[in-house]
Amino acid sequence: MSSISIVGLGNMARALAGRALVGGNAVEIIGRDRAKAKEVAATLDGATVGTAGSAPAGDIVVLAVPYVGAAAVVREYGDALRGKVIVDITNPVAPDLQGFVVPAGSSGAQEIAGAAPADAHVVKAFNTLFSHILAAGPAEGRPLDVFIAGDDAQAKARVSAFVESLGLRSWDTGELSMARALENVGLLELGLMNHSVKHTNFSLGITLLG
């Protein structure tokens, strides 16, 4: 199994941590508010608490923070992230939900990769799942799908193994440039939520025919 450090204390951080622990992974919770981090860890059987800004214990570091601060978090850690696999779960969506807050032709994951040490490997994943859907896991016999993108094959393989330890299906979509497409899927889901589905009790996935 994997050793995971989750930077963030929100709903996605809690959902990922809970499923990761059930899947047999070692989980470290990190937040700027250490007291709150301890409170979150106390609700999770077996999670440890790290120190913000110090080297994360996990080989895989999940950025479970809002996109607006994600690159700054990576820069703050600096060389402490050398050799790590950094999982970006963010959606850099503009406040009006009509586009993105990243440069044209780029993606949140690529911007984060630009802030990371050269020997760290950024993998996009989990950005197309709502937190309560992730926490609940597969429903009605249908697996939950996690789409990933990244430039390093070994890093993607490690993230795929982590995804599968959560009881989910991993789908490799290609190089990190495909993160732009995955972030568009996140935007699509917000559009569905606001204009047709009217709630967040859904997920998008792959149905193999034949």
Residue 150 and residue 176 in contact, taking contact as beta carbons nearer than 8 Å: yes
Q: 180 is written with which tokens?
A: 């732009």
For residue 93, the 8-state DSSP code is: B
Q: Is 72 helix (H, G, I), strand (E, B) or coil?
A: helix
Q: Output the pTM of the full model.
A: 0.96
Which residues on adjacent β-strands are paired with residue 183? none
At 114, phi and psi to the nearest 5?
Answer: -65, -20
102, 95, 168: which is closest to 136 by C-alpha?
168
For residue 208, the 8-state DSSP code is: -
Q: How confident is the model at residue 140 (pLDDT cuts 50, 70, 90)?
A: confident
Residue 173 pLDDT > 80, yes or no? yes
How far apart CA 31 and CA 53 sit, in angstroms, is 9
Left (φ > 0), alpha (ψ -120 to 50) or beta: where does 95 sit? Answer: alpha
Per-residue pLDDT tens digits for 70-113: 999 999 999 999 999 999 999 999 999 999 999 999 999 999 99
The domains located in the chain, with CATH, are 3-195 (3.40.50.720)
Q: Give how far the C-alpha of residue 82 lies from the chain's centroid of Cα atoms, to the nearest Å.
A: 19
For the chain, give the number of residues: 210
Q: What's residue 13's pLDDT?
A: 97
